[in-house]
Amino acid sequence: MAFNIHQVFLAGAIILATMSTSQLLAQTETKMCVKRGNQRGWVSRVISEHMWDFRVISDTNPTCTMHYEVYRQHLDNFATWSIQMLDASELVPSGILAGDTHKLGNFEECLKTRVPPELGFSAQYCLPVFNYIPSNFSTGAFASQDEWAKPVWSRIMINNRTKAPRDRFSLAFCIPSSCSHVDLQASLQSFFNDPMRQKAYDFKVDVHSLQCTTSDSPTQSTGGLIFKYLMIAMILLVLFCTLADLLLATFQKKNGSSKISSDNVTGARRWISPFSILRNLPQLFATTSSPDDYKMLHGIKAVLMLFVVIAHISSIRMLGRAAIVNWDYVEDLLARPNPLFSAAPLLPDFFYCISGFLMCLSTMKRLNAGKFNFWTHIINKLFRVFPPYFFFLAATIFILPSLGTGPFWKSFIEPEVEFCRKNWLLNIMFVNNYVLPGEWCFPHTYFLAADMHFFMVGTIIVYLCWRWNSYKGAVLGLATFLSFFMPFLAVYLNDYDGVLNFDYKSMTTIRRHQYFMMVYMKSHTRCGGYMIGIIGGFSLLTLQKRGYCFSKVGRCHTIGMDH
């Protein structure tokens, strides 16, 4: 048979190309340590292939085992309630590499499932955490490769404080309420242990009691009932006094007086007026004007409070308590230089500065008038702080747990509330930023403790400057030097970061974060802003004493020069 020369060359080219491709694939398989069929070992596939055979089996809780079998039997019969429980679950992980590690299913759908009463259980929502890492894997051999050519484990096991972990994921399970979190954890660990080990995974399941929720209303504590009835009594008292005050005001109007005023109130009205909305609401919204009222500070505080709220919302989302679908976007956002994130930890210092400024002016006014008493000064401060602070602590301990619900609600709120139950006295004594670090009642409450410390020490500094005016510069200079030297010394000796980093690791380990506990929340390392405020107060008093006045034109000129 005769062959065309073109056919011969074409056949040779095909053979060479096939050999080259085979050699390339063989080299790639050798280099990347990939075997045929190894794609079946990806964690999502292992979970999905075995999940449909999963059963909750408990040796210590036979009721749980029986109820789960009943649930499985009704699934085979397509009973609506059982299908709804299955539909509310999310049993296959996906989006792991993007950081979408919380598969929440449908929380409300699960808890609203109406299981027939004769079966003896209700629906329960649980969110176990699956931890996995490949056995005997090292990223060092692939350090020089392109990121997208490396094995996926080099991305999952990356140790970077700005990155959310990819070596774990949560799956939603809607199971019978008779099964405890221990039953679910033991069953998942036992069921998936062998399949995961066969695919060379080290595997662990964690289920905390706070990660399981039922539709049953939690029983309210005695303290919660007392707080609730006290609030109801106070509301009724305010309504009663307002109504009584309105009737008395109407009677007063018939007698020729049409103005509702708290001046010259006598008799029973003296006790009624403090609880009357008619008399307190106008005072609440009244805008007073006096030479000692620095109105621009109100605007500054309003803007700063807005930034504080934004910063706290962002930090809560970073605590891993929000099911963010695309963590890559958040990580890229935090990796870029951003003034909002960089300046957020410094926002409290502006409030400290304003507090020091106002404290200096008010204290000097009383000292110059001869009406100053240190203990009265402190007690007045406590009377202003204690009522809202007591209400905050009581509402946190007794009311907050019942204000919401959701997949993360119990696991996020209950630990915080438990710290408040145990250590609320430390907050009342204003030592929560020093005693039992890491166990404080809400991290942000350090601000009040530090502010109270600054107020007492700052008052003494102002008094010393007033009493020995000729040494005022030395006193302020020494106090300011110490206020900036102490944080420098703490950071230098302990090799801390200079500021509180706004990244994933810092926010998720805030109760164990050394810089936050030993520098950021300590009064002696945060007093710099307060001292600047005191110096500003003395500077203003000096300018006023010399008769210096800032004109509007001068202020505008100064602002224009600054920009």
Among 214, 233, 258, identify where a domain stops. Answer: 214
In a domain, 495, yes or no: yes
Residue 139's pLDDT is what? 57
Residues 209 and 229 in one domain: no
Does the residue 132 lie in any domain? yes
How distant is the alpha carbon of residue 435 from its chain centre? Answer: 21
The 10s digit of each residue's pLDDT in 123-147 is: 999 999 999 988 876 655 555 567 7
- Answer whether residue 120 is part of any domain: yes
Q: Is residue 37 one of the residues assigned to a domain?
A: no
- Predicted pLDDT of residue 36: 42
Q: Clarify whether residues 200 and 250 are in a common domain.
A: no
**pLDDT value of residue 299:** 78
More confident residue, 6 or 524: 524
Report H helices in 429-523: 446-467, 472-494, 504-508, 514-515
Asked which of 214, 232, 250 is the last residue of a domain, the reply is 214
Domain check: are 146 and 202 in the same one?
Answer: yes
Q: Taking residues 66-95, report their average pLDDT.
A: 94
**Is 3 within the bounds of a domain?**
yes
Compare 508 and 322 and report the one with higher pLDDT: 508
**CB of 45 closer than 8 Å to CB of 164:** no
Q: Is residue 218's pLDDT more than 80?
A: no
- pLDDT range class, residue 26, cuts 50, 70, 90: very low
User: Number of structural domains, the chain?
Assistant: 4
**What residues contact residue 518 under an 8 Å CB cut-off, 6+ apart?**
437, 490, 494, 496, 525
Residue 184 has pLDDT above 90, yes or no: yes
Query: Do 481 and 360 have their domain in common?
Result: yes
pLDDT at 2 over 50: no
pLDDT band at 85 (very low <50, low <70, confident <90, very high): very high
Domain match, 48 and 143 both:
yes
Residue 174 CB contacts under 8 Å (≥ 6 apart), including other chains:
85, 86, 88, 89, 105, 109, 110, 113, 123, 124, 125, 126
pLDDT(159) > 80: no
Q: What is the pLDDT, as a whole number, of residue 403?
A: 86
Average pLDDT value for residue range 175-204: 93
Confidence of residue 267 (pLDDT cuts 50, 70, 90): low
Would you state the pLDDT for residue 232?
92
Q: How many CB atoms lie within 10 A of CB 430?
A: 22
Same domain, residue pair 242 and 173? no
CA 226 vs CA 230, 231, 293, 507: distances in Å? 6, 9, 40, 35
Q: Of 186, 214, 242, which residue is a domain's last?
A: 214
205 and 61 fall within a common domain: yes
Same domain, 278 and 309: no
The Cα–Cα gap between 18 and 15 comes to: 5
Are 355 and 482 found together in one domain? yes
More confident residue, 451 or 6: 451
Highest mean pLDDT among 86-100, 157-171, 324-338: 86-100
* 318 within a domain of the structure (yes/no): yes
Question: Does residue 306 register a pLDDT over 90?
Answer: no
pTM: 0.80
- Rounded mean pLDDT, 91-114: 91
The verdict on 272 and 341 lying in the same domain is no
Model confidence at 30, pLDDT cuts 50, 70, 90, reads: very low
- For residues 399 and 540, membership in a common domain is answered with yes
Return the DSSP state at 134. Answer: E
Mean pLDDT of the chain: 82
14: containing domain: 1-32
pLDDT surpasses 60 at 518: yes
- Answer whether residue 482 shows pLDDT above 70: yes
3-state secondary structure (DSSP) of residue 268: coil
pLDDT exceeds cutoff 60 at 231: yes
Work out the pLDDT band at 506, boundaries 50, 70, 90. confident
**pLDDT tens-place string over residues 393-422:** 999 999 888 888 899 999 888 998 999 999
Residue 21 included in any domain? yes
pLDDT at position 450 over 60: yes
- Of 86-95, 115-124, 348-357, 502-511, the poorest mean pLDDT is in 502-511
Does residue 562 carry a pLDDT above 80? no
pLDDT at position 255, please?
60
Whether 290 is covered by a domain: the verdict is: no
Closest-CA residue to 427 (of 377, 386, 458, 459): 386
The pLDDT value recorded for residue 66 is 96
Residues 147 and 90 in one domain: yes
Give the model's pLDDT for residue 265. Answer: 56
Structure tokens at 306: 């807005």
Share of the chain above pLDDT 90, in %: 45
